[in-house]
Chain A
């Protein structure tokens, strides 16, 4: 029983971290129509940025500034935001699938940098032995996990409330107008390029925040944490939860990560040892099936988009 509860704590921490990533993607796709297929890149930049800033000094590595976790977390977010600004200025004139291809290429590039720029990222070994916030105050890792669940829950709630406030306002209306029809929005005095850039940078900053929170929890970062499959999982969470609705981020993250975790356990328990390595494909197929079922029976996701945007327009 205790084992299940401990796993539930771990599961909820990861779910909440992913829900923050999904909220960032929802801002970009759900509200602004930006097809970001490089989600994992900005999650990785946030994670590595936080790790480099808070990690201990090592003679063989750049960084290791030993900064307190909150400052490192803000630094990781800022790094992801800066990366998004550079990418956005170069790529946001692209539309739909072209933007997706460009951002996917950026995700691959970031992973290759993480793998090969050993002086900064530790290469394939990653950065290990990173300090976890207030870890020494707890007698056991389980106590830390419980504390961290509360911390991540507060961060997710803060992000949710900030987004709900900003999106349930003329700003949210502006994003949706650009999503619906850029030409019409421009004819009404709106600057679509600026709107797209704002949504892209803010969304990627949230992805960077989630990456930093992940590092604070695990105390370790490596390129294997940032495989392209993560982008697929995050998109699945958005589709299942329902884009254009911030609440959907939590529902989607819970459903998809839940299915992924349960199917992973089933694969490890039920499949013969020689087939275990192929088990990941079954997990991916199940997520694909969930997406198909969602699109068939609830095409707008489990929580659909509300018709009125601004809470003042009632």
Chain B
């Protein structure tokens, strides 16, 4: 018996990206980029292929170190921290190509996330089995509620490597929701997803925003960006070329030029 899941403890995270630079040899993949993701809103990050969006994502999430600049989450500086430390500050992410734990069931993919599980210390499994069992039961119930919220109940017993790419994206979303996030970074949630499932993903993101979660989303599908985002930042050739409301940036001549291949002035 599962109960309806709601985002709870740690909602609303303001992310400030300030003058971030990330280079690969002589190439500045992210070149002095600054913008703010406002708490309890959805910010879109768009741009043509090779613009540096995913590099910026990886830099913010700690997967790639930055060369200069800073990243602040709710006023706390998080750049330079390892990814697992950044998780502790409430920033969770998904990946452009889904990275489920393929040989684990969907349910256990979701149960992995919470920090500080007593059973993750092997000695507790021998010395405090009752505590581990109680925690596991509570985790399982919560994971099932999130799985139901994401529409994955039918596949919760299946190996995550055996479900569709779109479902894997939902598994990643369920995994991050289990981590009680302050802000979620979604890397192309709509890529390679069939239209029906994409509508479902968009609906879930909108519902989570209502519950107070903050999102930064990379997406190429402009319908998704227009329907979800309050604010959009546009990158091209590593630089931020525009930002503002979705209707403003889509009318911006620099954005149109970048998408049509005119380069960046």
Contacts and interface: CB of A to CB of B under 8 A. Distances in A.
A301 B108 CA distance: 23
A173 interface: yes
DSSP majority for the A interface?
helix
A109 to B, nearest CB: 29
A310 interface: yes
A276 interface: no
A190 B176 CA distance: 13
A169 B125 contact: yes
B72 interface: no
B200 interface: no
A11 to B, nearest CB: 31
Residue of A162, A171, A188, A308 most packed against chain B (CB within 10 A): A188
Contacts of A309: 104, 108
A218 interface: no
Interface stretch (B48-56, B93-101, B205-213, B243-251): B93-101
Interface in A265-314: 305, 307-310, 312-313
Interface stretch (B3-11, B18-26, B39-47, B111-119): B111-119
B91 to A, nearest CB: 9
Count class of interface residues, chain A: 20 to 34
A198 B122 contact: yes
B14 to A, nearest CB: 20
A186 interface: yes
B93 A310 contact: no
A174 interface: yes
B101 A186 contact: no
A157 interface: no
A180 B103 contact: yes
A184 B113 CA distance: 10
Contacts of B100: 180-181, 184
A185 B100 CA distance: 10
Contact of A174 (B83, B87, B112, B129): B112
A205 to B, nearest CB: 12
A172 B120 CA distance: 8
A202 interface: yes
Contacts of B135: 170
Contact of A171 (B82, B95, B122): B122
A190 B109 CA distance: 13
B84 A191 contact: yes
B101 A180 contact: yes
B236 to A, nearest CB: 27
A291 B104 CA distance: 26
A141 interface: no
B39 to A, nearest CB: 21
A305 B108 CA distance: 15
A313 B108 contact: yes
A165 B105 contact: no
Given A173-B111, A313-B107, A188 B92 contact: yes
B179 interface: yes
A187 B93 contact: yes
A308 B108 contact: yes
A184 B176 CA distance: 11
B136 A313 contact: yes
Contacts of B99: 181, 183-184
A133 to B, nearest CB: 25
B112 A313 contact: no
Interface string B58-94: 0001010000000000000000001110011000110
Contact of B140 (A169, A176, A244, A313): A313
A50 B92 CA distance: 48
Contact of B108 (A173, A184, A185, A198): A173
Given A310-B136, A313-B107, A313-B108, A165 B84 contact: no
A34 to B, nearest CB: 16
Contacts of B84: 186-192
Given A169-B119, A307-B103, 16 more contacts: A165-B125, A170-B120, A170-B135, A173-B111, A176-B103, A176-B104, A177-B101, A183-B63, A184-B99, A185-B101, A187-B61, A188-B179, A305-B103, A313-B105, A313-B108, A313-B140
6 contacts: A171-B119, A174-B120, A187-B63, A188-B92, A189-B88, A189-B115
